[in-house]
Structure 1
């Protein structure tokens, strides 16, 4: 067992670590109990963006942690809308520093349904387990002797996404200063409070505080390390857009015996329409879907080739025998635009199933975008495809006249919260400095990903601040973010401490 705390980090990999990394590691070991208990207190504050009172409590807790660690100019950057979650800002200006880094994480979390969590778990009642629950991990009390195993996990909403990021950034700065070291760059901290709600006010905050938020690079601490367990740096994110579809059938439910083979079935119609959007190899058949993609650079292609294969591992973990795009490995697949069905609904199933032809069928499409795609343009390509399949497209409930005139009726509502992809060049000198800094914390080669499969509104940082961003994640890949039983592995939490401190002290 690999314990943290009183007996230190046992059985750590042996390699030529920097003295700075060893100092940070010793700090984490000696303060493990304090760190984990304070983190657990932070996790116990509910943090759904729409819960105004508790969001304010989270912001206040972050401000308090920043001030206790000596961060200066701590303040709330609040949108004009009443009750909208504020961003929390602070800074450390280093005499003689010629570069500025801004560290970003978000303190809000996804909504929760406590009934979906494992027995004995509460989303905002952090609990310690000896391992992953689905692999036999058991609930144990927080140890009185301060010893913690690296493979133990804390279960709570936002443990990994993204209070783990907020807390790791702040503790990295504390570890650096308490270990007698100083950051080499000016540091700014920006913690957002509504990322999981789509960041509806982030543009307003960035535009209003352009001068305050100038930097040479944003370090985004969000998401997981590579599935192989290796540390990774991600240079971009995919954009995201949604479309709601509703296909209409008869005005009232019909007996499937009396009217089957005669009345059109909207569930079958929708299934056929969705099937027309992809071929058997997972390629999207929507006209022009891939046309405006900006190709990867030579260095990005080289990095892609060096990403460790996790195909067999992830198939085994997920219980699947084949992938949607058999000609592409995972990191190749997530570097392309995608069309995903988030959900479908029509009629009833299971014990509620009845012999009927339903009146409608609905689905939500999720479009992931890469550099070159435009959110609205990509949505329109899908709408044009639907029309090409013979559908009359409307944006409202159909009138009787429309029902009488069109055999295929569909309501299409494009989401208005879509945003574009963003990607920073791997070849930037400051990017190379970050890579070198993170490499000092691990004997394994870093995984360098041109883009993440997930999405963040990082294009806003480019639009309003002309900023470059790099994502340096810390969480374990099997953390259940956005779902029930979210967790973070303690080893990842403390490895992240070393990673962020190394970036703050990079040469």
Structure 2
């Protein structure tokens, strides 16, 4: 009896696990942070070579000195569908001193509670998906299983920077990127460990707020109680943005949310509730949301303080009133909420608290003529949320393929993380479905990023099934 794609992947991987883990480690050893464009180019050239040696027609989409988009195409005679696989090869910045298991680009495999994990930047986000796709191609070839659809690969190098140039690059190659569906291979599976199929992702935008005190640091004994402290003013401003349950108080923040369909609500109702397990894993004594579940809250817009900077702390602390204080705010969006409108709501709120709002460094005259001044940077590298209907025929085909490989799966309307789906949909006139493979506790975006090797091998089976779709 002929093997299924998942069976072929399993047969291919099992005798080669040690060798494949070493190959994946070699891929992870290539630095891939945005501050290292030469490193990103080396990653892109490596992937171009990996596609070409497998007989895939491949090229780099380039624009000046920007990180290239790696593109590959397999034409299948008589194909009914064209399926596009998206992933990204760039990773978040690293602070070497925070990595306690291994340096970020010196991958190592460790046994953790009886399971093998590989540590290194990009392990879970997002080189695993690319490696799984390449390995799945090898497995299908070894088993002599032919492809049925046209296959295209789009691997990006700026996702962690907000994909500021992705749409331009895709627009320049519209004839190559069209497909019946884009499969977004990014993110973690459900916290229960079961394979997840996600039909949308939150949008993302940022603002940075800076408030001002004295022109230079002042002695806190001589001038305390008299000179305004911008750090104190900023935390007071931020504290007014949310109530004690985490509900955002900025006017109109929740306006325009597109309601979930009956099928989407049913999918959420059938999804596992992992809140208590996560509270234990993350050592949380309470959660925001007034007792509501994580999966429900993911389908609402959010406001997060990424960081606050002002003055010094610890051994470097000085008894001064600092001249400025800055907060970086991350705004996650859901379908129906526009990123420009959400930025404006934050700006309007700050102005309503008595601040004169500017978008460039204020002059001395501005500071003297207004009691309170706030500079707000609105990040243009932003995008809106997207959600694909679960009942589309192509969506049902994807679900069937994944179930054939992994058994029962979790269907979710929205992923908590953000991917530039809106740009892909506009450029390729397509639908998107997200197929993550990483473990939920992979330390994505943080130090000691890791991937359970079992997730990688399961991912190869999933990718093989998707590559073999009609």
When normalised by structure 2's length, the TM-score is 0.96
Confirm or deny: 8 A CA contact 1:424 1:469 kept in the other structure: yes
Moved over 4 A (4+): none
Alignment of 1:391-402 (within 5 A): 391-402=355-366
Choose which of 30, 34, 37 in structure 2 pairs with 1:49: 34
Confirm or deny: 8 A CA contact 1:158 1:486 kept in the other structure: yes
SS at 1:441 equivalent = helix
Partner of 1:129: 110
The root-mean-square deviation of aligned C-alpha atoms, in Å, is: 1.7
Partner of 1:94: 76
After superposition, give the CA deviation of every residue in 1:355-381 in whole Å (9 maximum; x if it has no partner). 322222111111111111111111001
Q: Write the distance in 2 (CA, Å) between the matches of 1:335 and 1:199.
A: 23
After superposition, give the CA deviation of every residue in 1:169-213 in whole Å (9 maximum; x if it has no partner). 111122112112122211111111221122222111110111111
Q: Write the distance in 2 (CA, Å) between the matches of 1:253 and 1:22.
A: 66
Residue 236 of structure 1: how far off its partner (Å): 0.9
Choose which of 490, 498, 505 in structure 1 pairs with 2:461: 498
SS at 1:130 equivalent = strand
User: Which stretch shows the higher mean deviation, 31-40 or 371-380?
Assistant: 31-40
Partner of 2:328: 364
Q: Which runs of 5+ in 2 are unaligned?
A: none
Partner of 1:103: 85
After superposition, give the CA deviation of every residue in 1:440-496 in whole Å (9 maximum; x if it has no partner). 2234x3111111111111101111221111110111111112111111111000000
Partner of 1:175: 139
Partner of 1:37: 22
Distance 1:50 1:362, change over 3 A: closer
User: Are 1:479 and 2:445 counterparts?
Assistant: no
Partner of 1:85: 67
Confirm or deny: 8 A CA contact 1:238 1:451 kept in the other structure: yes
Residue 351 of structure 1: how far off its partner (Å): 2.1
Alignment of 1:323-472 (within 5 A): 323-443=287-407, 445-472=408-435
Partner of 2:222: 258
User: Which stretch shows the higher mean deviation, 53-62 or 97-106?
Assistant: 53-62
Residue 98 of structure 1: how far off its partner (Å): 0.4
Q: Write the distance in 2 (CA, Å) between the matches of 1:405 and 1:59.
A: 52
Confirm or deny: 8 A CA contact 1:99 1:216 kept in the other structure: yes
After superposition, give the CA deviation of every residue in 1:45-83 in whole Å (9 maximum; x if it has no partner). 212234233222212221222122222x2111112x2x2
Q: Write the distance in 2 (CA, Å) between the matches of 1:113 and 1:184.
A: 45
Q: Which runs of 5+ in 1 are unaligned?
A: 1-16, 136-148
Residue 37 of structure 1: how far off its partner (Å): 2.0
Confirm or deny: 8 A CA contact 1:18 1:440 kept in the other structure: no
Q: Write the distance in 1 (CA, Å) between the matches of 2:415 and 2:300.
A: 11
Residue 276 of structure 1: how far off its partner (Å): 1.1
Confirm or deny: 8 A CA contact 1:126 1:156 kept in the other structure: yes
